[in-house]
Amino acid sequence: MLDLLTSHFNAVFTSLRLRGKISKGDIETSCEQIRQALLESDVALEVVESFVAQIAQRSIDALALIQPGSNQAKAVFEVVNSSLVEILGGSARRVRFSKNPPTVIMLAGLQGAGKTTLAGKLAKFFADQGNTPLLVASDLQRPNAVTQLQILGQSIGVAVFAPEAGNGVGDPVKVAQAGVEFAKAKQYNMVIVDTAGRLGIDVELMKQAGDIRDALSPDEILFVVDAMIGQDALRTSQAFLDGVGFDGVVLTKLDGDARGGAALSIASLTKRPIMFVSTGEKLGDFDIFHPDRMASRILGMGDVATLAEAAKAAFDGDTSAKLEAKFASGQDFTLEDFLDQLQAMSKMGSISKILGMLPGSGAMKKAIDSLDEGEIIATKSIVQSMTPIERRDPKVLNGSRRSRIALGAGRAVSDVNNLIDRFSAAQKMIKQVRNGATPAGIPGMAGMGMPAIAPKSAAMRPKKKSKSGNPAKRAQEQSQ
Ligand code: GDP
């Protein structure tokens, strides 16, 4: 969603880098380009004006202080980066846990903003961290909101307090209060309260949200807002801030084609931090918001920190340790290991999402967008159609086995042949790498979802056996 902004920032910095010495006039031109880009991306006018004035002044100050011969474009880049981090809210803030559990989190926002979906995502996120959340169904207005929450809770194994069926019936304040009492009695350490929204701001909506707030005194009120509604997101957040008040913001639908305006304006306008972002309809499409990582993405430097975290979570200790041990002991990398890796990679999300986090991915956008995710699924299904013996030793794969595999995977035999050929070439290359060759790309694995593997250190490489000085022993070794 930030592609437009990223490409504008790239253009500005490419032109600055081409100038050896940056003049005040260059700064002014760049600032005007940035101003236009931010306005085009729906950033609120007052935020744009103060941001541009700030980077202009800071850049001029930075250039005045810079040592002759230093990289001036880099100095301006750093000014823009740190100013972006500031308008995005500075540093990430975590949810404040109450000293007297349960910690109560109330969600507020318009109907359709994604509150109920978010309630499920938050519950999963906190449960995965060892908490015991209880979901409370206080949206008694929107048709099926209660059932939706129950289904979500069931899918993640989190309890849902839903004494009323909703659909316009029941008192949401009473449900919320009873939910907190229930959590206390049953020792849940968190309560996440889903509340009703309306299609637009109205007095009744604000009053109901205000009544729930007064009845619960929540530890956190999170305002949930759809990033796709552009400038309306700002008007709505101001109305909720005045009418109900909130402690943090959750931006949803960041996967859509929103231009980033809400993300860039909301924190500085409301003086409340963006705490989480929602990037899709699935429960896993959810991230803690990090202003510095967002700034890094906007400036085309990718988000390597998030990528590393996702990889760490996906490649669980066992898989990585198993692979490392195999590598160190000189055993072959097999199709079974490959399948483990493909499975771990699919846990990290779509390949385009993973590649999009790499620095410079903006320039590869077209290539990333045209990536065929289906290829990876097809590769996985071919490997899954093999028996464990075949995965361990593809040499046994004669014609009839290949036909059987192709049939099982719903692919052509030529696809199976192709995969095996590319795998064998890669396996050979891995052997060479292990024996000390540089791991400069593993040919044939492109498009197979295969992360490069390189030996951690010389110590990990299996030692070549030294030849014995005893001629008889050497002859015996050679015959082995
Ligand atoms: P509520 O009325 O605020 O409770 O909104 P819902 O949770 O029912 O969400 C409204 C719609 O938006 C549903 O179809 C959700 O699947 C969808 N949705 C929620 N969050 C996201 C998101 O981050 N990205 C996308 N693409 N859709 C979302």
Quick: pLDDT tens for 463-479. 444 444 454 444 444 44
C-alpha angle 116-281-299 in degrees, rounded to nearest 5: 115
Ligand 1: residue of 255, 281, 287 to mutate (most ligand atoms within 8 A of CB) is 281
Which tens digits make up the pLDDT trace of 411-438?
Answer: 999 999 988 888 888 777 777 766 665 4
Which tens digits make up the pLDDT trace of 440-462?
Answer: 433 334 434 443 333 333 333 44
The ligand 1 atom at the shortest distance from the C-alpha of residue 277 is: 23
Q: How many angstroms does the Cα of residue 278 sit away from the middle of ligand 1?
A: 9
Stated as kind and residue range, the H or E segment containing 397 is none
The confidence score (pLDDT) of residue 66 equals 83
Q: 81, 57, 71, 80: which is closest to 22 by C-alpha?
A: 71
The confidence score (pLDDT) of residue 366 equals 65
Is the CB of 115 inside a 6 Å radius of any atom of ligand 1? yes
The confidence score (pLDDT) of residue 473 equals 46
The token pair at 372 is: 């065929």
DSSP string, 333-353: P-HHHHHHHHHHHHHT--HHH
- Which of 87-96, 129-138, 429-438, 469-478 is most confident? 129-138
Q: Say if residue 25's pLDDT is above 70.
A: yes
Q: Say if residue 245's pLDDT is above 90.
A: yes
Q: How many angstroms does the Cα of residue 117 sit away from the middle of ligand 1?
A: 6
Distance CA 176, CA 162 (A): 10
Q: Can you list the domains of the chain with their CATH numbers?
A: 3-87 (1.20.120.140), 103-301 (3.40.50.300), 316-448 (1.10.260.30)
- Contact by Cβ (8 Å): 430, 453: yes
Helices within 202-334 (DSSP H only): 203-216, 231-243, 261-270, 291-298, 304-314, 317-329
In the predicted model, what is the mean pLDDT of residues 378-383? Answer: 87
Looking at every residue in the chain, the average pLDDT score rounds to: 82
Is the CB of 40 inside a 6 Å radius of any atom of ligand 1? no
The ligand 1 atom at the shortest distance from the C-alpha of residue 224 is: 3
Is the CB of 121 inside a 6 Å radius of any atom of ligand 1? no
Distance CA 445, CA 455 (A): 18
- Which residues are within 8 A (CB) of 463 and not within 5 positions of it... i.e. 6 or more apart? none
Distance CA 326, CA 82 (A): 44
Share of residues in the chain with pLDDT > 90 (%) = 42
- Which residues are within 8 A (CB) of 153 and not within 5 positions of it... i.e. 6 or more apart? 120, 123, 135, 159, 160
The confidence score (pLDDT) of residue 133 equals 97
In the predicted model, what is the mean pLDDT of residues 294-320? Answer: 73
Place of tokens 């595999």: 405
CB atoms within 10 A of CB 245: 14
Q: Say if residue 83's pLDDT is above 80.
A: yes
Least confident among 181-185, 249-253, 375-379, 437-441:
437-441
Least confident among 92-96, 210-214, 337-341, 377-381:
337-341
Q: Say if residue 311's pLDDT is above 80.
A: no
In the predicted model, what is the mean pLDDT of residues 354-380? Answer: 69
The ligand 1 atom at the shortest distance from the C-alpha of residue 109 is: 3
The confidence score (pLDDT) of residue 171 equals 93
Higher model confidence: residue 369 or residue 393?
393
The confidence score (pLDDT) of residue 261 equals 81
Q: Say if residue 211's pLDDT is above 80.
A: yes
In the predicted model, what is the mean pLDDT of residues 258-270? Answer: 83
State the DSSP code for 91: S
Is the CB of 237 inside a 6 Å radius of any atom of ligand 1? no
The confidence score (pLDDT) of residue 463 equals 40
With a threshold of 0.85, does the pTM exceed it? no
The confidence score (pLDDT) of residue 71 equals 86
The ligand 1 atom at the shortest distance from the C-alpha of residue 117 is: 7
Q: Say if residue 340's pLDDT is above 90.
A: no
Ligand 1: residue of 107, 111, 117 to mutate (most ligand atoms within 8 A of CB) is 117
- Which of 70-74, 99-103, 140-144, 444-448 is most confident? 99-103
Band of residue 374 on the pLDDT scale cut at 50, 70, 90: confident
The ligand 1 atom at the shortest distance from the C-alpha of residue 286 is: 23
